[in-house]
Amino acid sequence: MTQELLNYYRSAASLGLIPDEENPIFLFNQTHTDLLIDIINGKIDLAQLVLLEIRNRGVDPKTGKFIGWRMGEDSYQVA
């Protein structure tokens, strides 16, 4: 994230323009430090975890549209 974009999100947060749950600078606020360290060190694949969450919500990872809960689909593989 560029400094300009970071400043934008900080300003948007302080002005209430973006809900906290949609502001990426707050994404990891409640994440335990040990998990963040494991992500930084490559022990946790964040993209795979996000893809799993998208799958659990029944959403197509390419379109963001609800498609139902299909288990074992190839569309749920990280490229």
- In single-letter form, the type of residue at position 29 comes to N
Global pTM value? 0.71
The answer to whether residues 54 and 69 touch, using CB atoms and an 8 Å cutoff, is: no
Is the distance from CB of 54 to CB of 66 less than 8 angstroms?
Answer: no
pLDDT at 10 over 70: yes
Q: Where are the domains of the chain?
A: 1-30, 33-79
Residue with tokens 């900080």: 10
pLDDT digits (tens, 9 = 90+) for 19-41: 999 999 999 999 999 999 999 99
**CB-based contact 68:54 (threshold 8 Å):** no
10: its two tokens: 């900080």
Q: Is the pLDDT of residue 47 over 90?
A: yes
Of 15-19, 63-67, 73-77, minimum mean pLDDT range:
73-77
Q: How many CB atoms lie under 10 A from the CB of residue 38?
A: 13
